[in-house]
Chains A and B, each alone.
Chain A
Amino acid sequence: MKADLRIIIDKLFTSLTGLAIASMIIALFVILGPMLYRGFGAIVFRGTVEFRKMQIAEFHHGNAEKVKQEAEKTQKVRQVVYDMIHRFRNGIDIEELENRVKDIHRNYGNELQQKDISREQYKELRDFSKEIRDKLIDTFSSDNIEKIKENIDFVLQYEMDERFVETVAIEYFTIARDFLKSSAKIDFEKRDFYAAELEELEDIILRLLGPAPDADTPMLAQKRYGATRLDQTNILFHQLFWKEKWVEQENSVALIKIENSRPEQFAGTELEPLFGYIKDNIKQMLNPKLTFYWRYFFDDSTPGHYFGGIGPEIFGTLLLTLLSMIFVIPFGVISAAYLTECTKEGPVVRIIRMCINTLAGVPSIVFGLFGMAFFVLFFIPIFGGPSQPCILAGSLTLAVLTLPVMIRASEEAIKTVPQTYKEASLALGASKFLTFVKVTLPAALPGILTGIILSLSRVAGETAPILFTAGIAIGPIPKSIFQTTRTLSYGSWDMAVSDKLAAEVPHNQFGMVVTLVLLILCLNAMAIILRARVFKKLKGH
């Protein structure tokens, strides 16, 4: 009976441990899986022609000639969209039309002044132009279709008039004809409604296709291009056809979301065919192609990480991590050697050990503030360095942060070296120092490497200690260790907290985080391989 129970409990224990491991693996997949998937979206995606234009203009990557041809080809298809909107706008934007005819009148006057004509002639022509102008302005603000027709017909009879032929005034008639055409299809009471809707529509098209070729170049790179990726294109495409709206519902106070069809809103107007055209030609307008953006790991980015890669961040992280390892390994191993080899177990050692353990529990932001107060403001200036955050100060701070881990791991490793090894060495006449360097240290190396792996992972991912000592959100790639740097961890934090635009480029956010995870994994893998090789050597194979 007792034996049976023991077997059952044993089996239960085994299955429980198995379950724990399984759930851990599942959790790993659940957490890392989607992150990895979305992170890879930063590298492999369907890039549109806008992406290639951006790459040429901002980073000088790609075949400029080929992209130019592609851009021209897509531009031809897009022009139809711009023309349609332009024509529709002519029918509804009264203020704009008024300004334009006023401009024409002014320009016509200027042109006449250049001509060799008498004062009376000039006055007569200008008055006539003014009459046409006023007639048109009057027409624009009218909402009686009969009156509009009458007025426009009145204006158009002068189209072939010799007074206007080959002058700027000829534009009057283009505007008049366009206006008549669009106003025939428009419900005048809905003019304001159309104007507001058109603004929204134009904003979506701007984000989809980028600024029109005749528009000014925006100051910021994030506004200079349309949708660079197919996933963005699809979202905007949906918005183009469906307008989100919150409306009241029956028997509830809360509002409910519905989606109105945009083409229906413009039904019957000149803009209606636009939607069909975009639907049929969206591929030709943006030309999405499967893109493998391996330069993501090397490229610089535009401020705010809107476009580009994370090259400087990777470089900065590696530099900080390796430099801090160079500081922490000797200090850690020597301290461990002192604690295990040079002193006897006693109150002093116990106190030192307690201090080290406490240090391991100190929050990392405290190390950050300590780093700024000690290294940045005090220690580096002593040696004539600049009293400014820099990579050196950051890596020293990180070294202090990870020192306890390093000391503990090394200590344990040194302790596990069998006493007989040391005794044999000492018996052969070697000094204590020589024994430690030649016998104890090589035998303890695998354990020390474990400590290095642990500290390496911690250091690469820390944000708080470098916040005040080495990290910056924007800046050039460092040229010396006395400059500040960007890092992956700081970059991820910066993207998450500050700019609203980061939410529009989630792939970059995920890409950065996944890269950080993979970088730590790679560093660890390298250290583990090294450890395995050392282990093999020690075994004498």
Chain B
Amino acid sequence: MKTVVIRILLVLAILASTNVMAQEKLHIEGSTTVGPIADGFAEVFSKLYPDVAITVNKSGSGTGASALIDSRCDIATMSRFMKEKEFKDAVDKGVFPVAHAIAMDGVCVVLHPSNPITALTTEQVRDIYTGKIKNWKDLGGPDLSIVVISRDTSSGTYETFESFVMNKEKMASNIEYVSTNPQMFGRVESTRSAIGYVGYGFVKSGVKAVTLNKIKPTVQTILNGQYPVSRPLYMFTNGYPKLGSMTHKFISFYLTEDGQEVIEDKGFVPVTNY
């Protein structure tokens, strides 16, 4: 027993002492939505620059912002813009956040594929979420009461949907909340009378995206802002990074053709068009 403990302690001591090898580090923290893009970039970078230790953490846009303010990360990924208070805190601590819009995302309203409705207006969607419209019959669909599903109020996707669609009206109290995109997809896929909203990457076989104000969510309509619920996704850095530094390479990777391919593969809309 004693010897085992001593051995474990020895191993830990060795682990602790081999610390701090002169290795370049890049830490990325923030949104779960932008996380997959950071994953993809990190995958490519680990092949291009095997000596750089890239770490990615997905704990939410707000955590990303506070990590940047405390200088605990090099890049903060965010699915919303920084709030006034966060900017103020940052400047007070001598951090000057610079936003890089690396990709676009559309928040698409999705229904079960058995629902014959293919077009809705933002007013109709708002009425469904405020509880004014309760049955698909009222919109020309089957006689089923609508199961309304929303993302939890702390998510960036919710904030986008709320500000673009809800027009400061409150959502009804009886709607169902889920906390992630995959959950939302699964819930709508399995419920005939459901309505929900997901990021563009989750519009795939199993659910049906409707047109909003007659505009179909596609790469083009999201990129040029025609689709009413489009948003940019950001990476924030402290000041504009030093040219040629690893941080600079990472945040400008989205401008390359390879970066665009990664963003597309991860289900987002690239801002470049090759």
Quote the shortest CB–CB distance from A286 to chain B (angstroms): 23
**Is B190 at the interface (CB under 8 A from chain A)?**
no
**Is B173 at the interface (CB under 8 A from chain A)?**
no
Q: How many A-B residue pairs have CB under 8 A?
A: 148
Residues of A within 8 A of B225 (CB): none
**Is B153 at the interface (CB under 8 A from chain A)?**
no
**Is A220 at the interface (CB under 8 A from chain B)?**
yes
**In the complex the two chains form, is B55's CB within 8 Å of A475's CB?**
yes
Which residues 247-282 in A have Cβ within 8 Å of B in the complex?
A: 248, 252-257
**In the complex the two chains form, is A471's CB within 8 Å of B57's CB?**
yes
Which residues 186-242 in A have Cβ within 8 Å of B in the complex?
A: 218-223
Residue with the highest number of chain B CB atoms closer than 10 Å, among A219, A387, A480:
A219
Residues of A within 8 A of B12 (CB): 323, 326, 481
**In the complex the two chains form, is B40's CB within 8 Å of A244's CB?**
no
**Alpha-carbon gap, A496 to B19, bound state (A):** 32
Residues of A within 8 A of B179 (CB): 497
**In the complex the two chains form, is A497's CB within 8 Å of B180's CB?**
yes
A-side interface size class: 35 or more
Residues of A within 8 A of B54 (CB): 474-476
Interface string of B137-151 (1 = CB under 8 A from A): 000111110000000
Contact status of A253 and B142, CB under 8 A, knowing A479-B18, A496-B182, A500-B202: yes
Contact status of A474 and B182, CB under 8 A, knowing A244-B205, A326-B8, A500-B267: no
Interface string of A451-474 (1 = CB under 8 A from B): 000000000000000011001111
Q: Which of A219, A326, A501 is in CB contact (< 8 Å) with B9?
A: A326
Which of B84-92, B108-116, B158-166 is near enough to bind chain A? B108-116
Quote the shortest CB–CB distance from A12 to chain B (angstroms): 41
Residue with the highest number of chain A CB atoms closer than 10 Å, among B36, B70, B185, B202:
B36
**In the complex the two chains form, is A252's CB within 8 Å of B142's CB?**
yes
Interface string of B35-56 (1 = CB under 8 A from A): 1101110111010000001111
Which residues 153-185 in B have Cβ within 8 Å of A in the complex?
A: 179-182, 185
Quote the shortest CB–CB distance from B9 to chain A (angstroms): 7
**In the complex the two chains form, is B201's CB within 8 Å of A220's CB?**
no
Who on chain A is nearest to B60 by CB? A467
Residues of A within 8 A of B181 (CB): 497, 500
Residues on A lying within 8 angstroms of B by beta carbon are 218-223, 244, 246, 248, 252-257, 302-304, 322-323, 326, 377, 387-389, 467-468, 471-476, 478-484, 494, 496-503, 530
Residues on B lying within 8 angstroms of A by beta carbon are 1, 5, 8-9, 12, 15-21, 27, 32-33, 35-36, 38-40, 42-44, 46, 53-59, 63, 70, 72, 113-116, 140-144, 179-182, 185, 192, 201-202, 204-205, 208, 258, 261-262, 265-267
29 contacts between A and B (CB under 8 A): A219-B40, A220-B261, A223-B265, A246-B113, A253-B140, A303-B39, A304-B39, A326-B9, A326-B12, A388-B27, A471-B57, A472-B56, A474-B38, A474-B39, A475-B56, A478-B15, A479-B18, A481-B15, A482-B20, A494-B58, A497-B32, A497-B58, A497-B180, A497-B181, A498-B58, A499-B39, A499-B266, A501-B266, A530-B1
